[in-house]
Amino acid sequence: MRIGIFGCRASGEKLAKQLNAIKVSADFISDGLRRDLTVLFRLRNYDIIHGLYMRPAVFLSLLFGKMLGKIVIIHWMGTEVMRALTETRIRLMALALNNFVDLNIVFSENLQQDLKRVGIDSVVWPIPVDTEYFSIDKLPPMPKRFSVLCKVADDQLYGGWLYGSDVILRLAKDLPSVQFLVVPGEDSEPSWLLSKKDEAPNLVFLGWKDDMLEVYKQTTVLLRLTRYDGLSYMVIESLALGRQVIWSCNYLPFCHRAKNFDEAKQVILETQKNPRLNVEGAQYVRANFSSKHIMRKLITIYNKLASRKYEALPMKRN
């Protein structure tokens, strides 16, 4: 049994790594951004095609996989659910593929509810945290310089609205002693915020990072003021390393809630007075999002889909 993974590169490579770690053969095939028809022919080598993030090229790859008789999974991560709710083209594409897909998966209950509004049923499979985040015997200390980490993606497409680029800029200008570390999305630069960098010298643009561990070590607080979100990798990983988290969503405990400039600024100032490790958050993530526990749930999902066609996948026993 082999799993072929399409779509979001960072999440796809993590998933392939985690599957291989429990003795399930998996490859990340393509991010679907490049027109390479040879990728489609590679689908013949896999039994299950697992698509992460619904973009048009991934849609075509999954459809081709279904034509080859493969088991096809769509894994909705967040933004594309919002687009299915608001954009007719994305909604019609999703509904069309839903006639052929074997299973839709989402990261969180709110995405499941919103996808249901589109007319698509799904199951929830939460995010597993990479094993290396749990192998640290002692949480890394808070950095000497107080730093706020922000992710900004698609701000050219959404005018800074989706990831709160406008609020991040205001905070950076209002809090010049605080360093704001900005990382982009996988396939998009924070173009709008970059155009404003001369207005706030404390905005530090790091560029895309394949490995975020060192960035988290430089971080005191993760700031995630999204107008729409699923269950974020960055939130889970920041909590796992004992970082403070300011989040506009109310999905997890041990995060500070903030939905606007004033609320975010207040939490940052309060945290700056006492930048302590978020031990409770780290313990919660370790108890609820360990890769060993969550990957077993995914293998159960795979096995249910494959039971009528293939030999069951192995479950690693400890």
Check: CB of residue 75 under 8 Å from CB of residue 15.
no
pLDDT value at 4 more than 80: yes
| pLDDT at residue number 227 | 83
- Residues 75-106 have pLDDT tens digits of 998 888 988 998 898 888 889 888 888 999 99
pLDDT value at 118 more than 70: yes
Check: CB of residue 181 under 8 Å from CB of residue 204.
yes
| pLDDT at residue number 219 | 98
What's the rounded mean pLDDT across residues 210-230? 92
Q: pLDDT band at 317, cuts 50/70/90?
A: very low
In three-state secondary structure terms, 93 is helix
pLDDT value at 255 more than 90: yes
- The neighbour count for residue 141, using CB atoms within 10 Å, is 10
What whole-number percentage of the chain has pLDDT above 90?
47
* Ordered structural domains, the chain, with CATH: 2-127+290-306 (3.40.50.2000), 132-286 (3.40.50.2000)
Mean of per-residue pLDDT scores for the chain: 86
What's the rounded mean pLDDT across residues 95-119? 91
Distances (CA, A) of 127 to 78, 82, 96, 110, 288: 12, 19, 27, 14, 10
Rounded to two decimals, the pTM is 0.87
